[in-house]
């Protein structure tokens, strides 16, 4: 059993039986469910919108090279610079060189899962650069020295009381249970950071090929502030985020908003198409887009699985997943959690270390039913399981168990010869640390099906 699997099982058990954790998650996801139900009212035919989005994204992924080069051509025409990063090490090295040239001391960041994926904050910290998360949820988990709990809602696992106590401890404010006061405290502290930072870093929700633009979606305005004052803007975006045209945003922006937060459309939707132009009054002097691969082309090379790259990171699959709602986001120990994380993490971070995530699913199909781009998530989880076995990522104990099971199924008469008491002893021994730990132990009936059948026949 791998170290990551052991840790996952321990953390899963702790979270699943933590009633306070469960209360917080049910409360927060309950509010999300109500909002999404209301948000869906804007659609006359939501299924048609999902089908169209799925078609567009599938077409893009199947022609990814074409759309990426089109994006690069149009973006560089307006003075932007594109950097292709094959993995996180290349991305960090390129970012480090930009920081060195600019002699950067302070960076402001808007919410970005790709920066979490390459562990950017840790890298910058080691090089003496102060990095401040400006999204409120990200700022909270940064203060708590944690990773984001959820793709869309980083601090979903924390209550208002938890956040207030954190602010009292870390920011030395007076105790309060006023949510507005907590928000204003964070806002006041962040204002000076925007104007003093040399570099602003964002992700990107969509790369728009036909205009060479990076579309950023947010609700707080921190993304705009992070890119308006600093002299340099760096957008780190996965290569799968491309859409063909700016006209496609009228489909994807509402889908992302409704599935992600239940809104008709998010509050701030911004398109960056390069550095400040001569006629413009604000914006960065230079803008870089780092196109991150980091395992995505490996997934692209698998035709039966590449639809996972259609994901627009709305987080809807996490909110309906019974496993996620019980074990929580931190238990996955990966950048991307929940069903989509279980699908893509083994390809981004290694199948051998992360194959267990594909088994952390009930295969109920709820994730597939809510995905706004119709990714067949539960089927992809099965394909991951299949791949992990084909590649030999199976524990010795598991192999032995299946050999014993195969032998028993092929030679039922041998099994029937074993006394019932001995069978029950074996079951107790095998299942004591798994099934029987939280459930009534399994027992074997005193009579086999063959015995019962023979008795039935004699009565005729």
The pLDDT tens digits of the residues spanning 326-360 come to 999 999 999 999 999 999 999 999 999 999 999 99
- Indicate whether 317 belongs to any domain: yes
Are residues 381 and 409 located together in one domain of the fold?
no
Are residues 251 and 328 located together in one domain of the fold?
no
Q: Give the pLDDT score at 441.
A: 87
Q: What is the DSSP letter of 314?
A: -
Q: Give the pLDDT score at 181.
A: 93
Structural domain total, the chain: 3
Indicate if the pLDDT at residue 460 is higher than 90: no
- Indicate whether 49 belongs to any domain: no
User: How large a percentage of the chain has pLDDT more than 90?
Assistant: 82
Are residues 214 and 285 located together in one domain of the fold?
yes
Are residues 388 and 426 located together in one domain of the fold?
no
Are residues 30 and 144 located together in one domain of the fold?
no
**Long-range contact pairs involving 84-91 (C-beta distance under 8 Å, separation at least 24):** 84/291, 84/293, 85/290, 85/291, 85/292, 85/293, 85/294, 86/293, 86/294, 87/293, 87/294, 87/295, 88/117, 88/118, 88/119, 88/292, 88/294, 91/118, 91/236, 91/290, 91/292, 91/294
Domain boundary among 294, 319, 351: 294
Which tokens belong to 138? Answer: 């990200």
* Mean predicted lDDT score pLDDT of the chain: 94
- Indicate whether 53 belongs to any domain: no
Mean pLDDT confidence for 216-230: 95
Q: Give the pLDDT score at 318.
A: 97
Indicate if the pLDDT at residue 435 is higher than 90: no
- 399: pLDDT confidence band, cut at 50, 70 and 90? confident
Q: List all residues 6 or more positions away from 115 whose beta carbon is below 8 Å from its beta carbon.
A: 109, 121, 201, 203, 236
- 413: pLDDT confidence band, cut at 50, 70 and 90? confident
Indicate if the pLDDT at residue 39 is higher than 80: yes
Q: Give the pLDDT score at 146.
A: 95
- Indicate whether 7 belongs to any domain: yes
Are residues 138 and 285 located together in one domain of the fold?
yes
Are residues 264 and 363 located together in one domain of the fold?
no
Are residues 197 and 99 located together in one domain of the fold?
yes
pTM above 0.85, yes or no: yes
Are residues 334 and 432 located together in one domain of the fold?
no
Any idea what the CATH number is for the domain that residue 158 is in?
3.40.50.10420
Indicate if the pLDDT at residue 230 is higher than 80: yes
Are residues 106 and 147 located together in one domain of the fold?
yes
- Indicate whether 48 belongs to any domain: no
- Indicate whether 302 belongs to any domain: no
**Could you list the residue range(s) of the whole structural domain that residue 448 is in?**
400-459
């Amino acid at each position: 059993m791998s170290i990551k699997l052991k840790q996952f099982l321990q953390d899963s058990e702790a979270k699943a039986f933590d009633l306070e954790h469960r209360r917080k998650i049910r409360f927060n996801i309950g509010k999300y469910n109500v909002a999404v139900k209301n948000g869906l009212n804007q659609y006359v035919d939501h299924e048609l919108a999902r089908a169209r989005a799925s078609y567009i994204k599938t077409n893009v992924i199947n022609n990814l090279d074409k759309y990426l080069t089109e994006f690069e051509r149009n973006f560089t025409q307006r003075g932007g610079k594109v950097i292709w990063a094959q993995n996180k090490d290349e991305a960090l090295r390129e970012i480090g060189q930009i920081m060195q040239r600019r002699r950067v001391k302070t960076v402001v960041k808007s919410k970005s899962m790709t920066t979490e994926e390459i562990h950017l904050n840790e890298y910058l910290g080691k090089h003496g650069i102060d990095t401040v998360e400006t999204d409120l949820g990200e700022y909270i988990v940064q203060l708590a020295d944690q990773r984001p709990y959820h793709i869309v809602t980083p601090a979903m696992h924390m209550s208002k009381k938890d956040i207030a106590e954190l602010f009292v401890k870390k920011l030395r404010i007076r105790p309060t249970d006023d949510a507005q006061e907590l928000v204003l405290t964070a806002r006041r502290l962040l204002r000076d950071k925007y104007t003093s930072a040399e570099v602003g870093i964002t992700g990107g929700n969509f790369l728009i090929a036909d205009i060479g633009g990076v579309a950023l979606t947010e609700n707080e305005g921190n993304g705009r502030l992070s890119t308006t004052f600093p002299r340099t803007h760096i957008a780190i975006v996965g290569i799968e985020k491309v859409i063909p045209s700016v006209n496609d945003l009228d489909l994807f922006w509402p889908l992302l908003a409704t599935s992600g937060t239940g809104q008709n459309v998010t509050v701030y939707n911004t398109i960056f198409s390069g550095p400040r132009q001569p006629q413009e009054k604000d914006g960065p002097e230079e803008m870089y887009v780092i196109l991150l691969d980091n395992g995505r082309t490996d997934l692209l090379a698998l035709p039966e699985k590449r639809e996972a790259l259609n994901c627009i990171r709305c987080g809807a699959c996490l909110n309906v997943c019974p496993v996620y709602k019980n074990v929580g986001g931190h238990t996955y120990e990966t950048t991307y959690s929940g069903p989509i994380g279980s699908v893509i993490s083994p390809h981004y971070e290694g199948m051998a270390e992360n194959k267990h995530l594909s088994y952390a699913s009930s295969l109920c199909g709820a994730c597939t039913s809510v995905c706004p781009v119709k990714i067949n998530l539960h089927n992809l989880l099965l394909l991951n399981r299949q791949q992990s076995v084909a590649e030999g990522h199976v524990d010795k104990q598991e192999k032995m168990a299946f050999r014993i099971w195969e032998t028993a199924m092929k030679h039922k008469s041998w099994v029937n010869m074993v006394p019932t008491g001995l069978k029950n002893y074996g079951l107790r021994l095998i299942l004591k640390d798994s099934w029987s730990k939280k459930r009534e132990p399994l027992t074997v009936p005193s009579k086999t099906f063959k015995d019962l059948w023979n008795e039935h026949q004699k009565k005729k």
